[in-house]
Amino acid sequence: MGGARDIALIFLSLEALVIALIPLVLVSGLAYGIYRLHRLTRTYLQLAQVYAQQANDAVGRASRAVAEPLIRAHAAWCAGTAVLTYLIRRIRKHG
């Protein structure tokens, strides 16, 4: 009777061991998958970063091309009004 009890205890222990190994196998598989995905995507992410930088440079050039004439015109307008204001104040002061 003691032998049957020991064999049953061994089978129950093996069943618990198998059930405990399932999460370990799943976590190990997930870690390996993430490792492989990281190695695979590193090249593509570097390429995407290069393209994003090229797009950023193109947008910067386009925005400067649009804004620069407007800024120059505004600066010229402000310089002209400053000169006129100075002349008008000088004429009023001495006039």
Q: pLDDT tens, 8-60?
A: 888 888 888 888 899 999 999 999 999 999 888 988 899 999 999 999 999 99
Taking the C-alpha atoms of residue 88 and residue 94, their distance in angstroms, rounded to an integer, is 10
pTM score, whole prediction: 0.50
Q: What per-residue confidence (pLDDT) applies to 95?
A: 65
Distance between CA 63 and CA 90 in Å, rounded?
40
Cα(84)–Cα(81) distance, rounded to whole angstroms?
Answer: 5
Instruction: Name the residue with higher pLDDT: 17 or 67.
Output: 67
Domain ranges of the chain: 1-69
Residue 41 parent element (H or E): helix 2-94
Whether 64 has a pLDDT exceeding 70, the answer reads: yes
**How far apart (Å, rounded) are the C-alpha atoms in residues 30 and 91?**
83
pLDDT 10s digits, 79-94: 999 999 999 998 888 8
Residue in this structure with the two tokens 């205890």, named with its chain if needed: 9
With a cut of 90, say whether residue 3 has pLDDT above it. no
Distance, CA of 59 to CA of 57 (rounded, Å) = 5
